[in-house]
Amino acid sequence: MSKITFLEFEKPIADLEERLEKLRLVQEDLGVDVSGEIGRLAKKIQELTQNIYRRLTPWQISQVSRHPQRPYTMDYINEIFTDFHELHGDRAYKDDQSIVGGIARFNGQPCMIIGHQKGRNTEERARRNFGMPKPEGYRKALRLMKLAEKFDLIVFTFVDTPGAFPGIDAEERSQSAAIGYNLYAMVELKAPLICTIIGEGGSGGALAIAVGDAVLMLQYSTYSVISPEGCASILWKNADYAVDAAAALGLTAQRAKMDGLIDKIVNEPLGGAHRNPKKMAALLEESLIDTTCQFQCMNKQDLLNKRHERLMNFGKFEELGAKK
């Protein structure tokens, strides 16, 4: 496992981890028994991590959701699914590698997988466009959804994007229309849709593959109409107000669950999904199995009716009496 990258607010944890590593080297290289001290320090690190993560602010949660070592869609595919065969292209322009998708098996049953994919290094990040799809990415996703509908496959989507790519070339190829078509198609898709927000759930770029029969969200993921930096730039004309924007946006999993925007929060390992990707995958797999059981025996019309009812229950309003 590669060395963990610590965030700014995790500096006290990083300092203790460094001391722990030095003690382990002393024991290994010099043969000095310091196992007692190692055990006490490891316990102290665990307690400190628990205390820090128990009081995370929305801005700190945003940082965790973007952690460079956080598991991406392909990591979950490799851990949870079998027999994955990637499908490429939108059959209109090109293959957008910021969205991956294909057929696979989940718990032995055939399914369709669609998800955002970021990169681990500079070359891959450029190739994946930092997880920001262009119209051809959403059209590829739509093509795969329709394919799943044709063959009665359950659809799993994994959301992790700062948002749809805002460049001129994307606008020239009708970015907003591509997102809109996806929203329309997902509402009427005659196949079960289970969506999971695994990192950043940014604006329409996330929503274009997140209209489902059930929406799950990892504990330290975010889901909002805009990034904190973008919101701060618009409201305060200064991205330095991102901390205040994050608090105002209500982008945490707890807030999304309270507002009825998601159905379930999937707990993460102590310190975030990146600390123990295999355990995170196991926790997510368990939640996905529980969720799929709800829709396996449901006929298509009941599925559509339930999805429509779910969407129509979003938001709150108050009816006022007619004016006399």
Q: What is the pLDDT of residue 23?
A: 87
Contact 66, 199 (CB under 8 A): yes
Q: What is the pLDDT of residue 270?
A: 95
User: How far is 273 from 154, CA to CA, in rounded Å?
Assistant: 25
Among 109, 112, 108, CA closest to 85 = 112
Three-state DSSP class for residue 254:
helix
Kindly state the DSSP code that residue 252 receives in the 8-state scheme. Answer: B
> CA 197, 203, 205, 210 torsion: positive or negative?
positive
Half-sphere exposure of 258 (CA within 13 A, CB side): 6
Both tokens of residue 210?
């997140």
One pLDDT digit (tens) per residue for the chain, 324 residues: 568 899 999 999 999 999 998 888 877 777 777 788 888 999 999 999 999 999 999 999 999 999 999 999 999 999 999 999 999 999 999 999 999 999 999 999 999 999 999 999 999 999 999 999 999 999 999 999 999 999 999 999 999 999 999 999 999 999 999 999 999 999 999 999 999 999 999 999 999 999 999 999 999 999 999 999 989 999 999 988 999 999 999 999 999 999 999 999 999 999 999 999 999 999 999 999 999 999 888 899 999 999 999 998 887 777 777 555
Q: What is the pLDDT of residue 35?
A: 82
Half-sphere exposure of 75 (CA within 13 A, CB side): 21
Helices (H), the chain: 11-30, 35-54, 58-65, 73-80, 122-127, 135-150, 168-172, 175-188, 203-207, 228-235, 242-249, 253-258, 277-292, 300-312
Amino acid at residue number 79 = E
Q: What is the pLDDT of residue 317?
A: 72
CA-based angle 91:139:137, to the nearest 5?
A: 100
User: How far is 73 from 70, CA to CA, in rounded Å?
Assistant: 10
